[in-house]
Amino acid sequence: MGTGDIDGKHEPPPGLFSGESSLCSPQTKLLHSAGSDKVHLSRSGPGMNRISPARISRLIGNWRAPEGKVSQQLSAAIARLITARELPVGGLLPSERALAAALAVSRGTIVAAYASLRDAGVLDSRHGSGHRIIASATAPGSAHTRLAGEIPAHPQDIDMTSGALPPSPILTRMLASLRGTELASVAAGLGYDASGLPALRWAVARYYTDLGLATHPDNILITSGAQQAVWLLANAMVDASDAVIVEDPVYRGSLEAFRRRNARIVPVAVTERGLDMPQLEKALKNRPKLLYLFPEAHNPTGRSLDDESRRDLAALLERHPTFLVEDGAQNELSTLAGATPRLFASEVDPNHVATIGTLSKLFWGGIRIGWIRAAPPVVKRLASFKAVNDLGCSMFDQHLAIGLLENIPEARAYRHQEIASHLKIAEDLIAERAAGRWRWSRPSAGTAMWIRMPGIDAVALCQEAQRHRLFLSAGPGYSAHENFGDVLRLPFVRPPEIMRFAIETICDLAGTARAA
């Protein structure tokens, strides 16, 4: 573990972006202590219509322009969220004071923005009842096109909200070797197959069999990445008010998928050792519809369950049978050289588990090929939902994926070396710049560090960092009840000069917060 503080100013590394970074106002009370375990009400179940400041801060993105009245920019940004239905009609907006703290602006700015929304007939404010959204807004600008909570950064910005890796050289080598006749052979048949190309389903089945989990192509559904796999499982298996157990924290894309089904999300704490097993057993006794977990490579903390925890989890599921979604999207991203994924599906009833996998992590995010491994009846049901959604994945990507799966050992070795090298650089930079202040556990897999910064409001820090053209993700975005207010998720798979700039900027802002 390590932690620290920086004195003095710093500049972005040369060539990262053009223009001058606007420094934050030192008198802004940016970041005073939001306790990491404080629970905020959010739309985590039916009837929960109070919208937290952390949620608005996460969704609103890069809302400030260099010119123009800040309150008008803010009211327009909130109106866009209402238009996009990210903030629902009937929802209660935060108090002026709470939202001002989260967005690192003055209370007067929030008062003026709310007044503008009231004048437009979008908001109703009553003493003692708060600020309720009463109508959809018509606002300039486009709605969000990325995952809710991801920030649309500009080319000159440094986007640290994603831990995506650059393309693997194995992929670029394969693309460079493609010939015209090989490309032409892709165009065969009608081009539609909701379940996936048969040859690719065989290849995925072999991949799992090689990992010790005997698999037939009938167990495989090809999806457009792991995110569509989560979406399909949520839509095919969860109805409104159904209880879904998730880890706390958890991958925010899954939270969005379950929220949009109006599921009743039941979070279970992730401890230093793994899952809080007594809390999980209590939740399982209430017969939830679904249990969604990362047993091997947790997103966002990077932890893996140890052998004892895996045995405890298997025993719990034997006593309280529940359909398990095992998200293995990060399973191949171990920080340990030579490690191969351990599949939890082999330890439970095969009829009550679905395992998610993807090629996007090992090879490139632009290869939108993932899959679900499950019992054949489950696969057939999911395929019918997929057919309605998109009729099937790109045939070109699927043909390419067959060749990529033949290169898994080489791709795995490359990514392990790449991740371990980047992690070492990040750890050294944090030890140099943040010693004694930041707390984290070394991730065993994945591409990001889950860093606790005691005494710091991470949501407000992220807002201030945007003014330095640095985009970060705060802990509440990964929690069903928006816990972890003093936590940042910091991807470490960036060039050293970018990592240095990011860590120095965070430390500088954190130092300002403590001095305020």
DSSP-assigned states of every residue in 35-74: -TT-----SSSTT--BPPHHHHHHHH-S---SSS-HHHHH
> 65 and 143: one domain?
yes
- Examine the domain organization and report whether 178 and 148 are in the same domain: no
- Is 31 part of any domain? no
Give CA–CA dist 276/481, Å, rounded: 16
**Helix, strand, or coil (residue 19):** coil
> What's the DSSP call for residue 166?
P
In this structure, is residue 36 part of a structural domain? no
Same domain for 276 and 367? yes
In a domain, 25, yes or no: no
Q: Is residue 6 part of a domain?
A: no
Last residue in a domain, options 357, 379, 406: 406
Among 357, 389, 406, identify where a domain stops. 406
Cα-based torsion angle of the residue sequence 486, 491, 495, 501 in order, rounded to the nearest 10 degrees: -10
For 220-257, give one letter per residue: b (16+ CB within 10 A) or e. Answer: bbbbbbbbbbbbbbbbbbbeeebbbbbbbbbbbbbbbb
Q: How far apart are CA 501 and CA 458, in angstroms?
A: 18
Q: Please report, for the domain that includes residue 78, its CATH number.
A: 3.90.1150.10
- CA–CA dist 313, 307 (Å, integer): 10
Last residue of a domain, one of 406, 426, 452: 406
In a domain, 45, yes or no: no
Nearest to 417 by CA among 330, 336, 297: 336
103 in Cβ contact with 58 (< 8 Å): no
Query: And the tokens for 461?
Result: 């820090």
Query: Do 249 and 279 share a domain, yes or no?
Result: yes
CA distance 160 to 148: 16
Strand, coil or helix: 372: strand
Domain with 386 in it: what CATH number?
Answer: 3.40.640.10
- Looking at the fold, whether 356 and 489 belong to one and the same domain comes out as no
Any residues with CB less than 8 A from the CB of 127 and at least 6 apart, and which?
Answer: none
User: Do residues 221 and 319 share a domain?
Assistant: yes
Q: What is the pLDDT along the chain (516 residues), one digit of tens a residue?
A: 443 333 333 444 444 433 333 333 333 334 433 333 333 333 334 335 889 888 898 888 788 887 889 999 999 999 988 888 888 888 999 999 999 988 989 999 999 999 999 988 889 988 777 899 988 765 444 334 344 444 444 556 889 999 999 999 999 998 888 877 666 676 666 667 788 999 999 999 999 999 999 999 999 999 999 999 999 999 999 999 999 999 999 999 999 999 999 999 999 999 877 899 999 999 999 999 999 999 999 999 999 999 999 999 999 999 999 999 999 999 999 998 888 999 999 999 999 999 999 999 999 999 999 999 999 999 999 999 998 888 878 888 999 999 999 999 999 999 999 999 999 999 999 999 887 889 999 999 999 999 999 999 999 999 999 888 899 999 999 999 999 999 999 999 999 999 999 999 999 998 776 544
Q: Indicate if 205 and 345 belong to the same structural domain.
A: yes
Structural domain total, the chain? 2
Pair (136, 182) in one structural domain: no
Q: Which two tokens stand for residue 491?
A: 């991807």
From CA 267, how far away is CA 88, in angstroms rounded? Answer: 23
Which whole-number Å values give the CA distances from 232 to 66, 227, 373, 385, in the listed order? 41, 9, 13, 7
* Tokens describing residue 78: 């909130």
For residue 116, the tally of other CB atoms under 10 A from its CB is 19
- Does one domain contain both 141 and 216? no
Burial category of 353 from C-beta neighbours within 10 Å (exposed 0-12, middle 13-18, buried 19 and up): buried
Domain housing 358: 171-406
DSSP structural state of residue 34: -
Cβ-contact 458, 320 below 8 angstroms: no
In angstroms, what CA-CA distances link 277 with 145, 309, 315, 411, 481?
37, 8, 11, 35, 19
Residue 116 lies in a domain: yes
Whether residue 394 lies inside any domain: the answer is yes
Tell me if 2 is assigned to some domain.
Answer: no
Q: Percent helix, strand and coil across the chain, each rounded to 5?
A: 40, 15, 45
Both 336 and 261 in one domain: the answer is yes
The answer on 424 and 345 residing in a single domain is no
- Whether residue 228 is found in the same domain as residue 111: no
